Amino acid sequence: MPPDKKAAHYERLYKQLTELLQKSNDTIAQMATISAVLFHKMDTFFWCGFYRVEADNLVVMPYQGPLACQLLPKGKGVCWAAVNRNETIVVPDVHAFPDHIACDSRSNSEIVVPLRNKQGAVIAVLDVDSDKLNSFDAVDATYLEKIVALIHFD
Ligand code: SME
């Protein structure tokens, strides 16, 4: 999708999600809603969901798509890299990323966006996989960061 069309599509989804997330302040309900909307409205999203940070693992939270790893062991893979660097990571080819964790062998590219609590600590990530190479760019990073900023944390 051309970047301007993708941005316009994200704008519509952002507006829709802003309205939907006003219905509940429950973090899990909001994550479930975001993963359902993104998975069903973004053509390239093969898997889309959340992991929360625990001491030894990232633990899976609401998601849509094929069965995923429940636990991601500390320090390994793209999701932990996003936690440790405290920044969004775009991976054009997951096979070229050292330590990438393949929950599903059909994944080829990926974006991971950190979620921060009110104190600024990374407490979870949004992870999106595509079965095509090079699916994600700065437009995805910008809008997915805006979308996760809608989630309420106590
Ligand atoms: N690929 C991720 C693991 C999670 S799955 O993609 C759903 C990683 O390397 O951390």
According to DSSP, the residues that pair with 47 across neighbouring strands are 129
Mean pLDDT of 86-96: 97
Best of 45, 79, 108, 112 to mutate for ligand 1, by most ligand atoms within 8 A of CB? 79
Question: In this predicted model, what pLDDT tens digit does every residue of 4-27 receive, in sequence order?
Answer: 899 999 999 999 999 999 999 999
Query: Higher confidence at residue 78 or residue 98?
Result: 78
43 CA → ligand 1 middle, Å: 19
pLDDT classification of 147: cutoffs 50, 70, 90: very high
Structural domains of the chain sorted by starting position, each given as residue range(s) with its CATH number in brackets: 3-148 (3.30.450.40)
* pLDDT of 58: 98
Q: Which residues surround ligand 1 with Cβ inside 6 Å?
A: 47, 68-69, 72, 77-79, 100-101, 103, 107, 110, 127, 129
124 CA → ligand 1 middle, Å: 13
pLDDT classification of 2: cutoffs 50, 70, 90: confident
Question: In this predicted model, what pLDDT tens digit does every residue of 106-136 receive, in sequence order?
Answer: 999 999 999 999 889 999 999 999 999 999 9
Helices (H), 22-103: 27-41, 77-85
pLDDT classification of 145: cutoffs 50, 70, 90: very high
pTM above 0.95, yes or no: yes
* pLDDT of 154: 81
* pLDDT of 67: 97
Question: In this predicted model, what pLDDT tens digit does every residue of 24-71 receive, in sequence order?
Answer: 999 999 999 999 999 999 999 999 999 999 999 999 999 999 999 999
Closest CA to 123 of 89, 90, 79, 91: 79
* pLDDT of 1: 83
Best of 127, 131, 136 to mutate for ligand 1, by most ligand atoms within 8 A of CB? 127
Residues 7 and 9: their CA atoms lie apart, in Å, by 5
pLDDT classification of 3: cutoffs 50, 70, 90: confident
Judged by phi (left if over 0) then psi (alpha if -120 to 50, else beta), residue 55 lies in alpha
